Structure 1
């Protein structure tokens, strides 16, 4: 296996051909430490203007102790300017005004948060590619193997292995036939040992589902 290939411990997993580290591409679980954000191994984000705080750039409303979680699977690919707006971005809406008076008077915060219950988690599956400028709205559920086109706004649920685009994002087509998708989900290559994944990269780059399945370890 090539040196440094699929190194889950690396903050900056990509190098340019001249050997320089690309500071604009990071493994997110190496740079985000937030109990409300769960990110699988090898999921990366890229930015042409790398931030000091990747959590703030990607999911600015997901504060530690929030009543909901953001869960992102393994081997995700998150392009520049993606923004994930989680449910804590909302203001309580049951009253006459939605103005957040409590954020200016911390003595009122307990009552404010008491109005924000049962907020939905936002869940993004394994091997998902979010294109440049995608916005993910609160409570979205994005399946595994999904590709979301640049500039799209995702709400609700997107099924495994679809290509979606638009505002709101709608399924343009499925990447594989239903039986192939079921097979891919059963194979779950993203959970294989890293050595097996390294051997399977030629198969992963092709559309031959059975060839990949034949390489499953054990």
Structure 2
């Protein structure tokens, strides 16, 4: 029996389910970083994940960083900082990108709102048709409900949803959340994860405290 699980370097970990793609292995942009085993689920092209990261221009310098073992459902959209328009002038209209002489309008990057990198932690579950705005940080183990618009940070091991997205509740008590953040099971070697699958998937939350 294979005791290490699927190959994290495979595009489709289960060849019979090509709606699920390990997206680390199809990324071409240097400003996107994805951890091992994180997947995108989309029957209409799971390997086209990059098309769901919009307004992402290298000259702006912002990055999309997603950790390990995240589950991302179809319809995700990461809106990056390039979507922002100038707001401290009479008009927000981007004359300079239209050409035909308008490109001569002076533009400085410091005129545009810049929210920084978008960072998704490890073991995060993001439901269908979620939009994540620039600069948002979502903590390890968080759950984002379907059809949410996420414009603010979500702490680790919290459930959030809605438009705008709001925190609904904590998944666990503070003691267990702190323990899991220190445990970092997603960094275990593949054989240790395999040997502890029953514990990781159990609703008996005391079991995880006995892992060696």
**TM-score normalized by the length of structure 2:** 0.89
Paired residues for 1:183-194 under 5 Å: 183-194=179-190
Paired residues for 1:32-181 under 5 Å: 32-50=27-45, 53-56=48-51, 58-105=52-99, 108=104, 111-116=107-112, 118-181=114-177
RMSD over aligned Cα, in angstroms? 2.3
Q: Does structure 2 conserve the Cα–Cα contact (< 8 Å) formed by 1:142 and 1:157? A: yes
- Secondary structure of the structure 2 residue equivalent to 1:23: coil
Q: Does structure 1 conserve the Cα–Cα contact (< 8 Å) formed by 2:26 and 2:47? A: no
| Structure 2: segments with no counterpart, 5+ residues | none
Deviations 1:15-67 (A, max 9, x none): 4xxxx3x22211111001212111111111011211664212x2122233333
Residues 131 and 206 of structure 1: CA distance in aligned 2, closer, same or farther (over 3 Å)? same
Answer with 76-85 or 203-212: which moved more.
203-212
Greater than 4 Å deviation, 4+ residue runs: 106-110
Q: CA deviation at 1:107?
A: 5.3
Q: Does structure 2 conserve the Cα–Cα contact (< 8 Å) formed by 1:35 and 1:65? A: no
| Structure 1: segments with no counterpart, 5+ residues | none
- Secondary structure of the structure 2 residue equivalent to 1:102: helix
- Secondary structure of the structure 2 residue equivalent to 1:164: strand
- Secondary structure of the structure 1 residue equivalent to 2:58: coil
- Secondary structure of the structure 2 residue equivalent to 1:9: coil
